[in-house]
Amino acid sequence: MKPCIALTKGRLEKQFLEYFQSLGFDIQPLVKKGRKLRVDTEDFQFVFAKGVDVTTYVEHGIADLGIVGEDVLTEFQPDVFNLLPLPFGQCRMALAAEAGGKWPERKRKIASKYPNITKEFFRLKGESVDIVKLEGSVELAPILGLADGIVDIVETGTTLKENGLIIKEEFHQYTARCIANRSSLKIKKDCLTPLIEALQKGEAVT
C-alpha cells in the first residue's frame, strides 16, 4: 500500500506543495484536486485536514506521516514521532496587548487559540491568569474588551499592527514539522525512508 501523508489544509498545504515540487515530486494531481480531501499520486496518498486532526490521523496510524505546525504539537501533545523540522511555516508565539492600553495589576484575562501554551507561559512566570479560549481572529479580544491581552502566532506582525496591538513578549519560534506514526516508521520503513530523506535534504522555501 502507498504511504499516506496527512497535510494541514490552508497555508501549510500550499507551502508544503511548493516545497515538495522543489524536491522534484509531481504535485499536479494535488494542485488539480478541487474539493477532494483524499488524492492519490503515483507514489503516495494524500489526505487534507485541520492541523489537530492531522495529528489524530497520524496517532491512529491512518496516516503514516503528517505535516503540521509545531504550535499544534506543543498545544495538543499528540502521541506521534516528531520526525523533523521543515523549512517553511516559520512563526512565533507572542503575548500582545493594545498599544498604549493599560496592563492591569489585577488578575489578567488572556484570549488565545492556545490555552495550554498560554497556561504554561504564565505558570513559568508564576502568574495566574484567566484564559478565554477563542477559535480565531484573536486580535479582536482586547479591542472589544473581552481580554487584556492575547497569546497568538505572529509572522509578519501585520495583523497586530493593523489592529493596534503590540508585542509584549515573544516566547517560542516554530516551523512546520513532519510527524510520523510510531509503528509505520518500522512497518513501512522501506517506502518511507526515501521520502523522509528527501524531505530532510531540501532547501528552505522562500
Ligand X SMILES: Nc1ncnc2c1ncn2[C@@H]1O[C@H](COP(=O)(O)OP(=O)(O)OP(=O)(O)O)[C@@H](O)[C@H]1O
Buried b (16+ CB within 10 A) or exposed e, 166-197: eeeeeebebbbbbbbbeebbeebeeebeebbe
* Extended strands (E) in the chain: 4-8, 38-40, 45-49, 65-69, 81-85, 91-98, 109-112, 130-133, 149-154, 165-174, 176-180
Q: What is the DSSP letter of 28?
A: H
Using the contact rule CB under 6 A, the part of the chain among 10-18, 27-35, 38-46, 78-86 near ligand X is 10-18
- Residue from 18, 155, 169, 170 in contact with ligand PRP (CB under 6 A): 155
Evaluate whether 76 touches 120 at the Cβ level (below 8 Å).
no
- Residue from 30, 65, 72, 94 in contact with ligand X (CB under 6 A): 72
Tell me, by CB under 6 A, how many residues bind ligand X. Answer: 15
User: Which segments of 42-90 does DSSP mark as H helices, in order?
Assistant: 51-59, 70-76
Q: Which does 72 bind (CB under 5 to 8 A by kind): ligand PRP, ligand X, none?
A: ligand X
Q: Is 112 in the site for ligand X (CB under 6 A)?
A: no
Minimum distance, C-beta of residue 205 to ligand X, in the bound complex (Å): 12
Q: By beta-carbon distance, which residue lies closest to ligand PRP?
A: 136
Residue tagged 488572556 (cell numbers): 110
Minimum distance, C-beta of residue 26 to ligand PRP, in the bound complex (Å): 29
Q: Is 10 in the site for ligand X (CB under 6 A)?
A: yes
- Residue from 4, 5, 6, 8 in contact with ligand X (CB under 6 A): 8
Interface with ligand X (CB under 6 A): 8, 10-12, 50-51, 69, 71-72, 89, 91, 136, 153, 155, 174
Interface with ligand PRP (CB under 6 A): 136-139, 152-159
